[in-house]
Amino acid sequence: MKFLSVVEGLSEPRFEAAFELLNQSDTFHVVEDVAFRMQALMPPRPEDPVTLFRHEDLLDWGVFSVTFLVLVLFDNLVLFGRYGGNMSFSKALAYSVFWLLCAGGFNGYIFWSRGAEAAFDWGTGYMLEWMLSVDNLFVFRSIFVIFHTPNSHKHKPLFWGICGAIVFRMIFFVVGEVMMHAFWVTHFFLGFFLMYTGYKILGVEEDDEDVPNQNPVFLWIIKKLKLIDAYSPEPRFIVKAAIDAKTEEPVLPDWTPQMLPKDHDPKASDPTEGRELVFRTYATRLMLVVLCLELTDVVFAVDSISAIVAQIPDLFLAYSACVFAMLGLRATFFAVDELVKLFTLLPYAVSVILVFIGAKLVLRGVIHIPAQVVCITLFAVLAISIVASVIYERFRPKEWCAHIVSLQCCWY
């Protein structure tokens, strides 16, 4: 009863006049504006649950799945089925352009089915993943050098490494999208993480480079594998090898010298002569290569996934853009030795973009940047870095060149 009497008292003319005066004051509007902006930072309401796979996206997922399967079959049966690992630079460049056109065609479908803003979001996600994945190619190249992988064997671990990365990307995207929608502070942590990553890229030193085959997880897997530290004549991950029944050592009579273990004696006679042999299944060195590629990609995926999730709240747009960017990586790998001149200053471009995306995410409740502006900004930064790289290659000082190479080889 006391509460009702207080409420009735507030309706008196003198209180109504006070409320009217407060409503007209600048202070009230400032407080109201701040409250409105703070509301943008709050978590979604319980009646608006997070929905990653929406019913209206079913057709889009179907079109994407069919397109992906067709392109993967075409890539293995036609492109790499004909040339394998011995692909020339001109062929690799042509196939890279082909994958770029495929991505443009699918983005045209996004524009037709979802509109211009979704198409710009998709293009932004594609460019983010492509730019950050190019760095992976330099790391992949160093892995092949460390393991002395023959050129004819490189295409297979690249393919399965990319397929594994596509699977892990889906897991990471689901976790990232759920966290972004369910926990309102996530975008603060993610934004500051991206800005820190962009800053750290420029401060990396050559001594900080991690050797991929010294990863603790990788070393643990090696201990659990039955392994022959050699490559088979054909690019295989698992082989049945002849084993000496007494010494338990592998016998490899038909394997070429470059594929044999390092401690193999080339002057030795036929290793099968006078031995009792048994055949067992072993993993080859090619299995180590693909495992190292997968573990390295998981580490390097953190920044790309964070940037894409920060920019694109739609799971379908984010994941499909990421997959299309990765499909062309195998062809681009065989052209990377020549294209490196175009990407000399790419770490600086990536640094600027990560800081930009991180700042945009932190300030999203205060400043709204349209998807068109973000996409054009990313494209402009990439184009400027390529043009600057070409100019720099013609006039670069030798001392500064060494620092640039260290940035490309060891972002972490």
pLDDT(77) > 80: no
The residue that leads in pLDDT, 42 or 131, is 131
For residue range 48-58, what is the model confidence (pLDDT) as tens digits?
Answer: 455 566 777 78
Give the model's pLDDT for residue 44: 44
Give the model's pLDDT for residue 179: 73
Q: Where are the domains of the chain?
A: 55-210+289-409, 228-283
Task: Give percent of the chain above pLDDT 90.
Answer: 4
Give the model's pLDDT for residue 84: 55
For residue range 225-282, what is the model confidence (pLDDT) as tens digits?
Answer: 777 777 777 777 777 766 665 666 666 544 444 444 444 444 444 444 555 566 667 7
Separation of alpha carbons 328 and 144, rounded Å: 19
Looking at every residue in the chain, the average pLDDT score rounds to 70
The mean pLDDT value for 375-402 works out to 74
Quickly count helices (H) and strands (E) in the chain. Answer: 17, 3
Residues 6 or more apart from 7 whose CB is under 8 A from it? none
Residues 6 or more apart from 119 whose CB is under 8 A from it? 107, 108, 110, 111
Q: What single-letter amino acid sits at 185?
A: V
pLDDT(40) > 50: no
pLDDT(288) > 70: yes
Q: Which of 143-147, 224-228, 238-242, 402-406 has the highest mean pLDDT?
A: 143-147
The residue that leads in pLDDT, 399 or 369, is 369
pLDDT(66) > 80: yes
Q: Using pLDDT thresholds of 50, 70 and 90, give the confidence band for residue 128.
A: confident
Give the model's pLDDT for residue 106: 93
The residue that leads in pLDDT, 335 or 70, is 70
351 burial type by CB count under 10 A (0-12 exposed, 13-18 middle, 19+ buried): buried
Give the model's pLDDT for residue 173: 79
Place of tokens 């006078």: 274
The mean pLDDT value for 97-108 works out to 91
